[in-house]
């Protein structure tokens, strides 16, 4: 049983920093609704990200780009109601923070006020560094995100690993260090060769959470639907499936459908009955 399986107080950013300092791996997972939040809470994870990956795995969009701030707020608030111990991170969706510092701050404030997040996450370096700094200066902790950034995957050549050349790797590292200098509290590094993470780690002081970035990061994150085998179709190279819930769910629904069609369900044990005297009165019309 996990040491974190029992109820305890909510973690703090100081607790996460202490894990990094102690070399204790940090566990992050995504969640998108109240039941999944309860599951990851019971499993004892440290960080929960309501990622804009919800656009694809929950809402059925073809990419993360179409999801709106209002949609993300509904999902994030539902997750908040299912969590006690882990820190909650809300992903600011595409188009909700890039245009100006003022817009970025206003969106981040909505996630804190309406969904109860502990931190917000934004993607990329470049001008995003300025947005990160503005949000931090407004008193809201920020998680940066470098490497493969799904909101701009088209510009990066699709959903593919980044930093494969020395120059591209250095650009990822530079973005990471610029975000740290802007005051972000932690960093997600996605889909880069392990050598990039190895080169980054001695240079950075904040916790680094990897996803397809090798084993040298301070922690790891996977999408709930990927690690549990809920999401249909191909997955990225870095995904490991720890269960096959989609098959189990299909089998369960198919068994239910078969029993309904065969008039096996509902059986007597699933049926409410009136007291015999009351049933007799009903049938007698009295």
- Enumerate the active-site residues: 190
Cα–Cα nearest to 146, from 200, 89, 75: 200
209 contacts 11 by C-beta, under 8 angstroms = no
**Residue 115, SS3 per DSSP:** helix
218 contacts 209 by C-beta, under 8 angstroms = yes
Tally of CB atoms within 10 A around 12:
11
Instruction: Report cis status (omega within 30 of 0) of the bond before 266.
Output: yes
Cα–Cα nearest to 162, from 177, 178, 179, 145: 145
CA distances from 92 to 119, 129, 217 (A): 10, 14, 23
193 contacts 199 by C-beta, under 8 angstroms = no
13 contacts 39 by C-beta, under 8 angstroms = no
209 contacts 220 by C-beta, under 8 angstroms = yes
Reduced to 3 DSSP states, what percent helix, strand and coil does the chain have, rounded to the nearest 5?
Answer: 45, 15, 45
| Residue 155, both tokens | 């510009």
């Amino acid at each position: 049983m996990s040491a974190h399986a029992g109820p305890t107080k909510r973690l703090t950013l100081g607790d996460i920093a202490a894990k990094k300092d102690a070399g204790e791996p940090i566990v992050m997972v995504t969640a998108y609704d109240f039941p999944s939040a309860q599951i990851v809470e019971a499993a004892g994870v440290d960080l929960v990200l309501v990622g804009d990956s919800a656009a694809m795995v929950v809402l059925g969009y073809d990419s993360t780009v179409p999801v709106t701030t209002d949609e993300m707020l509904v999902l994030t608030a539902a997750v908040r109601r299912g969590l006690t111990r882990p820190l909650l991170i809300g992903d600011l969706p595409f188009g909700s923070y890039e245009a100006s510092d003022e817009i970025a701050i206003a969106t981040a404030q909505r996630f804190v006020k309406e969904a109860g997040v502990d931190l917000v996450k934004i993607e990329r370096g470049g001008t995003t560094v300025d947005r990160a700094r503005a949000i931090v200066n407004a008193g809201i902790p920020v998680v940066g995100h470098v490497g493969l950034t799904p909101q701009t995957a088209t510009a990066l050549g699709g959903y593919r690993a980044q930093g494969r050349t020395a120059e591209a790797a250095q650009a990822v590292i530079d973005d990471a260090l610029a975000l740290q200098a802007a005051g972000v509290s932690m960093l997600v590094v996605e889909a880069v060769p392990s050598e990039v993470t190895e080169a980054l780690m001695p240079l950075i002081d904040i916790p680094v959470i990897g996803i397809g970035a090798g084993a040298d990061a301070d922690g790891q994150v996977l999408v709930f639907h990927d690690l549990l085998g809920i999401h249909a179709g191909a997955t990225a190279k870095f995904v490991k499936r720890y269960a096959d819930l989609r098959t189990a769910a299909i089998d369960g629904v198919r068994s239910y459908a078969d029993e309904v069609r065969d008039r096996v369900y509902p059986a007597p044990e699933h049926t409410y009955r009136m007291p015999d005297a009351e049933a007799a009165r009903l049938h007698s019309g009295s």
